[in-house]
Amino acid sequence: MKRIMFVCKKNSARSQMAEGFARTLGAGRISVTSSGLEASQVRPEAVAAMREVGIDITDQTSKPLSDFNPEDFDVVISLCGCGVNLPPDWVLRDIFEDWQLDDPAEQPEIFPRVRDEIKVRVEALLAQIAPA
């Protein structure tokens, strides 16, 4: 079972939505968590955007990347272009991608668009690493 880490700056929106999609769409096929270069709070807009597509992320919490060990993950996905700021061990996992998605925290009206972009990318990732 592949183990995925989604990482972002604050683990408040993009990485949380990615975790929610991966947990739901890859249930039983993958293990997934998310974290941030620093921890904060899950944004209510992210919770609302995911609720609109039938996924509940209210139980997810923001966690610092420093709480985890890179060797515990096969796949590391950066969602904010922060890959350059990750310690080298994180970038050297079996699969590392830097998706560089717009930050909806800066413009809350784009939450639905960013959510939908994340879903497409998570579906493609799951098809690659854990086909149904």
Question: Of 5, 30, 65, 80, which residue is the catalytic one?
Answer: 80
Q: Which domain range does residue 47 map to?
A: 2-129
Residue 75 phi, psi dihedral angles, 5° rounding: -125, 130
Instruction: Write down the pTM of the prediction.
Output: 0.96
pLDDT of res. 15:
97
- Could you confirm whether 82 is annotated as catalytic? no
How many domains does the chain fold into? 1
CATH number at residue 15: 3.40.50.2300
pLDDT of res. 84:
77
Exposure string of 47-73, with b = 16+ CB inside 10 Å and e = fewer, is bebbeeeebebeebebbebeeeebeeb
- Could you confirm whether 8 is annotated as catalytic? yes
Q: Are 30 and 3 in contact (CB under 8 A)?
A: yes
pLDDT of res. 38:
92
Question: Of 8, 77, 82, 114, which residue is the catalytic one?
Answer: 8
pLDDT in tens, the chain (132 residues): 999 999 999 999 999 999 999 999 999 999 999 999 999 999 999 999 999 999 999 999 999 999 999 999 999 999 988 777 899 999 999 999 999 999 998 899 999 999 999 999 999 999 999 988
